[in-house]
Structure 1
Amino acid sequence: MTRRSDRALPTLTSPWRIWAKTLPIFLTLITISALGIFNYQKTSSSIVAATLYALRTSEVGKRELGEEIYFRDMWPWIWGEMNQLHGREHMGFGVKGTRGRGWMRFRSVRVGRMGKFETKEWSLETEDGRKIQLMDEGREDPFLNTALEAEGSD
């Protein structure tokens, strides 16, 4: 042993200093991961699938966006609230087709605890700023038929 026994001890770094450096990085990663998980849950929900399907089969949607209507971005971000428990669905996301791109909005509410959802807004805003209502006054709620078909198949 060539070390001297009366040498100076090394300085210790405080554990709080290490925590102060790594905690913001950890919290940022947790926040980004949680937001990604919640958005994935919204993306794979039946509400988003139904509205996207209804847009694909809509004559107005085909006329404005063309064929092959799908999410605009590779990793779509669904903005808004989807709270079926409390009867509030208000969301929007980017869509694209072979002819153009746009932003689809959907808002539906449920009046009463056991009431049915009623679509209040279903619109498409094109890239040139036009806002097109996808629910005609003369046509019924397109989402009501799919709900009735689902109830009949049970």
Structure 2
Amino acid sequence: MPVTTDIVAAYRGPRTVFRRLLAMGANEGRALAIVMAGCAIFFISEWPRLAREAHLTDQELNPLLGGSLMAWIFIAPLVFYAIGTLSQFVLRIFGGTASGYAARLALFWAWLVASPIKLLHGLVAGFIGPGPGLTAVGAIWLLVFLWVWASDLREAGWGRR
């Protein structure tokens, strides 16, 4: 199934889609592609906000974009691998049986599934700026991300013996 179809399907039933991803077998290349796609979308979502910031503060846009590129494309995936591994250790403490791959994939997939809302967040940040609208979209993004991540972790083996 195309990834865009899976993202839409994950809003209706995240555990079903994640179960299908796990059934494909452990493939670190696929996991890396998922986290890189999510980070690329997050990088793109920063463009309107950075353009607004550059315009309002009379800065050059290119250095701001370069810093965002470095953060989202090169550093963030490494941080996500660390968080995914840490989440597996936390699951083990609470009796979970998730493999390291499944725990990482749960985080990466939740990140990618929530990324379309981050695109909206970036547009609101760029065109409207700080305010209740930006806060509301950010809160919706966070809730969707946490909901999908928790659902995926549950499917991966959280609380199972």
TM interval, short-chain normalised: under 0.3
More helix by share: 2
TM-score by length of 2: 0.25
Greater Cα radius of gyration, structure 1 or 2: 1
- The structure whose RCO (Cα within 8 Å, separation 6+) is larger is 2
TM-score by length of 1: 0.26
